[in-house]
Each structure stands twice: as structure tokens, then as C-alpha cells.
């Protein structure tokens, strides 16, 4: 592990808090130190208040920030003196502690201070850094962990036995730290939890973290427990989209809401699946208790959901019986699935959640394999994990996420997603919490959004294999398909029927009609498995009801598509799949309306371009966004009992009315 400290960047920091932000971000850049909200940092700064009185504030990471992109506002300034007095109390309940933390922050609107704030307060150093470093928890999750830590670090660290985070841990640390601290002490190891480093400057504290963790890594290397001898490749997977969608449907039934199921199968996953002790090493528990709220205590091995649920219920019942106050059981679905056929799958209410679970568990796989190679992986007893899983303060973090969005956990495929109405549909879907597979010929589709809930696939809707590829890619990322938006289409240059070019005619039918038939065929088995039932919306056209001269290929293809949609609605009603269409007109911010085509169409009606654009009865502009909002709402509860509907979005067309 190398220090990322950069003097040039560090010199741009104006004050201590800036330096705290800078080195916290450095810490966040090491995924083997901190992952997603894990870890926390602080700095103690003397300041004068409005009355000119000097006080020392502990700027400690607040909840809701990740170290990798934390800002000044991500730190909560708490009155240090008060925290030090609290640390002397014989006991303090969690709600009392949170109340004291919140009421002794000096800036209104500051985030809630980390529950480890009192621990940061008692350590007598300006800077304090805390991480759940992989290498350190690899060592402490072995039967001989304590001895190994003593051997590696000697007096460089104070060792704290495992205690649940919160007030009791802070008190124990205060006691042991002052008993054991030597002038050479640079950090503190919390068995089965993580590591603290500290120093007088941001650099000293950060680099001590790097050095201490490096010593743990070197120890693993020296003991042949670092290199994992991963396989060069993983078995070439056949198509997985149907088994994935089936599994997702069953898991969504357990949580009573649609869930995202994210698939991955790396050499690390394969190595783990091939391990002779797989059944044992996979069921020990998380590497640090904090992970339990993301990954649950243990993954599901194979696909026997009923057994997993029964085991979870037993675990809950057993530990709830002796809990301080009765708890309400969380949904018993696994968050990680390890299966020889499906590799590693992670489950989440959103794609972001599923991605976080996957990343955390990939680190867990490495930790378990290394600990096993060194000696034996031994996590904390289930009781300790239960206490963190059902800790009010952890549950509060989950509740803070608020009410799920309209399409949270649902997956949509949009064709022609790189521009116009298709792109607008992608945005309206993302805004309502859906995860979106965007398909388009234009390579831009692959990179237009960099986010966990978007998957762009370059492909031609006229080629069945490319549709299959898009579905396979998307379902591996999100687990299924709930919503299909058939949007891709062309509007060829005007040609009178007498002069119609056969290839133009055929191409128009291929894209506007036949491709949609194939998309429907290929999506059917997936839509049938949608937890809230499948929905299809087809972008039709005003031309269905009011065709235009010179536009025979376009009008005929859209009219045939309209009939296809109606038959689909008839056939798929028994599967509760709703199939509706919208008929937009005069949406001029789309790819098909080039200046040339605009002029040609205006001419066909004997109008100027300006007249042609505003010829609807309301005299309004219709944008791609307007169409997209209608399309997306038609997939929601408002239209729950509507199928085979055709809704215009055209400002009112005289010829249609
Ligand atoms: Zn921690």
C-alpha cells in the first residue's frame, strides 16, 4: 500500500479543516481501507465563538458522507469539552448519546456526527483516522489473530478486544489507551473491527495508517497468505438471463418489492466457489460487523431460498429473545447469493445498493480466502453480528433513505436510447428510480451516463442476436426486465408511392415494425417474471390515424405496428402484461427531424416550416420530454388497469379529432 500524499495538492489547503478534507479523501481512494460510508476521520481545532470565547471543536465525519468525496460540510463540529465529560459517565444509552452529539454541534444544519465521535474525542491527537482495512481484519478474523497483531506491531499499537461500536467501545478505548499508550504508539487495532491511526498533522496520521496497514500486508505476504493463485479465466457462461430473472422474481416475493439482482463472475469468485471448504468458510459471517447491514450475516449458497429464510428466522428468534428491547424482523431475503451456475449475485433495493453489496462482498471473499490460507477464517459470533444488524443506530441509517421512488428496483429497456424521445424516456425513468438498459446503434449510448443504474448497449434492433445480447447484458446487471419501451424508428425522406424505392420500403418496415416484433418475442419470457407484472409502451405516431402524402413507408409501418401492439395486448393480458401506445406528433427535437425533412413535410402541406411546426389546435410545442413523461407514467400505477390504449400527445390534431 503506497501513500498518495502529494505536497503540491496539500499546499493548496488553507486551514486544518481543508487538510482534514484532503487526507480523508486520500483515505477514501484506497478501496482496501474504506468502502462506501465505511471509516471515519476527525480533526480538533481551536476556534473563537461569537462572544470571543475560545473553544476546541471536534470536526468529525457526519453520517451520509463517503470519505472519497467528502467536503468541509461533511464534517460536524462538536464541542470537544462536552464529549470528554460524556466519556467519563459510567453509562450512556444510544438514544442519549445521539441526542448529546446532535445538541452539541455548533453549526445548525450540520450532519449528525459519527457514532464513533466520542472515541475520536478521547484520543489526544489533532488528527484521527479510522478504517476497516482489509489486511488488518484478515489477521484479526483468525483464531491466532491477537498473537499475530502483537507480533507484528509490538508497542506501535494499542489492542482493543471486540466491543460493539458506540459508547461502551469509546469508554473501553479510553481506559485501555491510557493504560497501554507508549511514546511510540501510532495507532490502535480494534479486533474484528478495524484500525485507528493518529498524529499531530494530517500527513502524519494518514501515513501512519498506510504504514500500519502495509505491515499487515507484508505479514500476509511473508506467510504465503497474500497471493491467491486465481484462475486465469472463469467458465464461459451460457445465457443466464432466464435463471437470473427467475431468481430475482422469487427474491422480490420475499421482500415484497421489486429488487435489483446484480451478477458478476470474476476469477476471485470462481476461486472461492471452487474452494474445497466453500460450505464452511462462506457461512462464518462478515469481516467487520458494519458490513452486516449491507450483506446480511451470511450469503445464500445455491438457490434454496426457503432454507435460507428458515435459517434467518431461527437466527432472529434466537437472538431477539435476549435482546435489550424486542426488535422487528427485517426481510429475510439474502443480499448475497453464491451459486456455481450464477456466480456471485448481489441484491439491493436500488442498483446503487446492489453495487455496494457486490463491492463489499468481493473484498470479503479476498479476506476469507487469505485468512483461510493463513490459518482459518473465524468471524465474530452470530450474537455480535445480530447486535449490529438490529442496532437502532444502524437501522436509522437505512430508514434515512426515505420512501422508495416510483420504479425503485424495476428495470426498463429503451430502444433508440441515444437521442430524442428514447433518451428523454431514459431520463424520465431514471428520475423515477428505475434502472435502465439503453440500446442504440449510436455508440454514445454506452457512455452517455456513468451511473450504477444505467447500462448502455450498442446494438442493431434489426438483428435478433444483438437484441439477445442487449437483454443478456442488461439482465446480468439488473436481474430482470419489467418495462419495455419500443422507441427506435426511422422516418425516410418523402417518396410518392409511384416512385417508392423497394429498399427504402423494406428498411422502414424492418426497423419500425419487424424489429419490434422480435423485441417483443425476446422480452416476453422476462416480462412474465416481472414482480409487478410487465409493461410495454410503444411509440406510435399521429400518422396511424392521419397519414401524410409521401410518407407511405413510415405511415404503413407505424399503422402495422399499432395493430401488432393491439394483438400483443390481447395475447399477453393473461400474463398481466400491459401493452399501450402513445401517438406523438410534431416532436421536432428528435433525431429523425432533420432540417431537410422538416422542409419537405412543410412543403407537402403547402406550409412554411414555422406554420408546420405549430399546426396543432392548442398551438403548443411538443418536446421529447413531454412524450417521455407520458410514456413513463403509463408504466405506473395510474394506468394499472389500462391495456391496448392509444394516447395522442400532439397538442390536438385537427385531422385526428
Ligand atoms: Zn468502524
72: pLDDT confidence band, cut at 50, 70 and 90?
Answer: very high
Please tell me the distance between residue 255's alpha carbon and the centre of ligand 1 in angstroms: 28
**Dist. CA 114 → ligand 1 center (Å):** 10
Distance 360 CA to ligand 1 centre (A): 14
Task: Evaluate if residue 123 carries a pLDDT over 90.
Answer: yes
Taking a 5 Å cut-off on Cβ, the residues next to ion ligand 1 are: 194
CA of 426 to the centre of ligand 1 (A): 38
Determine the distance separating the centroid of ligand 1 and the alpha carbon of 421, expressed in angstroms: 46
**Mean pLDDT, residues 554-579 taken together:** 97
Task: Report the b/e string of 34-69 with b at 16+ CB within 10 A.
Answer: bbbbbbbbbbbbeeeeeeeeeeebbbbbbbebbbbe
The tally of CA atoms less than 13 A away on the side-chain side of residue 290 is 22
Kindly report, residue by residue over 520-542, the tens digit of the pLDDT. 999 999 999 999 999 999 999 99
State yes or no: pLDDT of 116 exceeds 80: yes
**Using only C-alpha atoms, what is the Rg of the chain?**
30
Report the separation in Å between the CA atom of 211 and the middle of ligand 1, taken as the mean of its atom positions: 19
Q: What is the pLDDT of residue 273?
A: 96
Cα–ligand 1 centroid distance for 227 (angstroms): 26
Q: Sorting pLDDT into bands at 50, 70 and 90, what band is 588?
A: confident
Q: Please tell me the predicted confidence (pLDDT) of residue 609.
A: 86
3-class DSSP state of 597: helix
Residue with cell 480523508: 24
Question: Is pLDDT of 398 > 70?
Answer: no
CA of 195 to the centre of ligand 1 (A): 8
Q: How much is the pLDDT for 591?
A: 66
What's the 267 CA to ligand 1 centre distance in angstroms? 29
- The pLDDT assigned to 397 comes to 65
Distance 132 CA to ligand 1 centre (A): 6
How many angstroms does the Cα of residue 193 sit away from the middle of ligand 1?
Answer: 6
Question: How many Å lie between the centroid of ligand 1 and the Cα of residue 130?
Answer: 7
pTM: 0.93
User: What are the φ and ψ backbone dihedral angles of 442, each rounded to 5 degrees?
Assistant: -75, 120
Q: What is the pLDDT of residues 20-51, one digit of tens each?
A: 999 999 999 998 998 877 889 999 999 999 99
Tell me the per-residue pLDDT of 611-648, one tens digit each, with 9 for 90 and over.
888 888 998 889 999 999 999 999 999 999 999 999 99
- Mean pLDDT calculated for residue range 160-167: 93
Q: Indicate the pairing of strand 435-440 with strand 454-458.
A: parallel
Query: Is pLDDT above 70 for 89?
Result: yes
Going from the Cα of 197 to the center of ligand 1, the distance in angstroms, rounded, reads 12
Integer CA distances (angstroms), 570 to 578, 580, 593, 645, in order: 9, 11, 33, 12
Q: How much distance in Å is there from the Cα of 615 to the middle of ligand 1?
A: 64
Predicted confidence (pLDDT) per residue in 497-525, tens digit = 999 999 999 999 999 999 999 999 999 99
Average pLDDT for the chain: 94
Is residue 154 very low, low, confident or very high in pLDDT (cuts 50, 70, 90)? Answer: very high
pLDDT at 590 over 80: no
In the reported structure, the alpha carbon of residue 39 is separated from the centroid of ligand 1 by a whole-number distance in angstroms of: 6
C-alpha 366 to ligand 1 mean position (Å): 19
pLDDT higher than 80, residue 237: no
Amino acid at each position: 500500500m503506497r501513500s498518495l500524499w502529494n505536497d503540491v495538492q496539500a499546499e493548496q489547503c488553507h486551514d486544518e479543516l481543508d487538510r482534514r478534507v484532503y487526507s480523508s479523501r486520500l483515505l477514501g481512494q484506497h478501496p482496501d481501507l474504506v468502502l462506501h460510508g465505511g471509516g471515519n476521520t476527525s480533526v480538533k481545532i481551536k476556534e473563537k465563538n461569537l462572544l470571543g470565547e475560545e473553544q476546541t471543536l471536534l470536526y468529525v465525519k457526519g453520517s451520509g458522507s463517503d470519505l472519497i468525496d467528502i467536503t468541509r460540510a461533511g464534517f460536524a463540529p462538536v464541542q470537544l469539552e462536552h464529549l470528554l465529560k460524556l466519556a467519563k459517565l459510567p453509562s450512556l444509552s444510544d438514544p442519549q448519546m445521539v441526542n448529546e452529539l446532535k445538541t452539541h454541534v455548533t453549526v445548525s444544519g450540520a450532519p449528525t456526527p459519527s457514532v464513533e465521535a466520542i472515541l475520536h474525542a478521547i484520543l489526544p491527537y489533532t488528527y484521527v483516522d479510522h478504517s476497516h482495512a482489509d489486511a488488518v481484519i484478515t489477521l484479526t478474523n483468525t483464531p491466532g489473530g491477537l498473537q499475530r497483531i502483537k507480533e507484528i506491531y509490538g508497542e506501535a499499537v494499542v489492542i482493543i478486544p471486540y466491543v460493539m461500536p458506540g459508547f461502551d467501545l469509546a469508554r473501553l478505548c479510553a481506559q485501555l489507551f491510557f493504560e497501554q499508550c507508549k511514546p511510540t504508539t501510532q495507532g490502535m487495532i480494534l479486533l474484528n473491527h478495524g484500525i485507528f491511526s493518529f498524529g499531530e498533522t494530517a500527513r502524519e496520521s494518514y501515513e501512519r495508517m498506510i504504514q500500519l496497514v502495509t505491515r499487515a500486508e507484508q505479514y500476509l505476504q511473508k506467510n504465503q497468505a497474500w497471493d491467491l493463485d486465481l484462475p486465469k479465466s472463469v467458465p464461459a457462461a451460457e445465457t443466464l438471463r432466464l435463471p437470473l430473472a427467475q431468481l430475482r422474481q422469487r427474491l422480490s416475493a420475499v421482500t415484497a418489492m421489486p429488487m435489483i439482482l446484480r451478477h458478476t463472475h470474476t476469477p476471485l469468485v470462481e476461486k472461492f466457489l471452487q474452494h474445497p471448504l466453500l460450505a464452511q468458510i462462506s457461512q462464518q459471517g462478515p469481516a467487520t460487523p458494519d458490513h452486516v447491514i449491507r450483506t446480511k450475516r451470511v450469503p445464500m449458497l445455491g438457490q434454496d431460498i426457503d432454507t435460507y429464510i428458515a435459517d434467518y428466522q431461527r437466527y432472529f428468534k434466537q437472538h431477539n429473545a435476549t435482546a435489550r428491547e424486542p426488535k422487528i424482523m427485517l426481510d429475510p431475503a439474502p443480499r448475497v447469493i453464491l451459486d456455481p451456475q450464477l456466480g456471485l449475485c448481489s441484491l439491493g433495493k436500488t442498483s446503487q445498493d446492489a453495487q455496494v453489496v457486490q463491492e463489499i462482498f468481493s473484498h470479503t471473499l479476498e479476506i476469507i480466502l487469505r485468512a483461510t490460507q493463513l490459518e482459518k477464517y473465524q468471524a465474530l459470533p452470530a450474537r455480535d453480528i445480530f447486535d449490529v444488524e438490529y442496532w437502532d443506530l444502524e437501522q436509522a441509517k437505512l430508514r434515512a433513505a426515505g420512501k422508495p421512488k416510483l420504479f425503485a428496483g424495476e428495470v426498463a429497456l429503451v430502444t433508440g436510447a441515444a437521442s430524442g424521445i428514447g433518451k428523454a424516456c431514459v431520463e424520465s425513468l431514471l428520475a423515477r428510480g428505475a434502472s435502465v438498459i439503453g440500446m442504440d446503434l449510436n455508440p454514445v449510448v454506452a457512455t452517455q451516463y456513468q451511473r450504477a443504474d444505467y447500462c448502455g448497449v450498442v446494438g442493431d434492433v434489426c438483428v435478433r442476436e444483438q437484441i439477445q445480447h442487449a437483454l443478456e447484458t442488461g439482465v446480468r446487471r439488473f436481474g430482470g426486465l419489467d418495462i419495455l419501451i419500443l422507441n427506435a424508428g426511422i422516418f425516410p425522406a418523402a417518396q410518392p408511392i409511384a416512385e417508392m424505392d423497394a429498399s427504402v420500403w423494406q428498411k422502414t418496415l424492418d426497423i419500425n415494425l419487424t424489429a419490434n416484433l422480435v423485441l417483443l418475442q425476446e422480452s416476453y419470457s422476462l416480462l412474465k417474471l416481472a414482480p409487478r407484472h410487465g409493461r410495454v409502451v410503444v411509440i406510435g405516431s399521429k400518422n396511424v390515424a392521419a397519414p401524410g402524402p409521401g410518407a407511405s413507408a413510415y405511415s404503413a409501418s407505424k399503422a402495422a405496428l399499432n395493430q401488432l401492439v393491439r394483438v400483443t395486448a390481447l395475447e399477453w393480458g393473461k400474463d398481466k402484461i400491459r401493452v399501450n401506445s402513445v401517438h406523438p406528433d410534431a416532436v421536432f427535437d428528435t433525431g429523425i427531424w432533420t432540417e431537410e425533412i422538416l422542409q419537405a413535410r412543410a412543403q407537402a402541406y403547402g406550409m412554411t416550416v414555422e406554420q408546420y411546426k405549430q399546426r396543432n389546435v392548442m398551438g403548443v410545442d411538443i418536446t421529447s420530454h413531454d412524450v417521455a413523461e407520458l410514456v413513463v407514467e403509463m408504466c405506473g400505477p395510474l394506468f394499472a388497469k389500462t391495456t391496448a390504449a392509444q394516447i395522442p400527445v400532439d397538442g390536438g390534431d385537427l385531422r385526428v379529432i
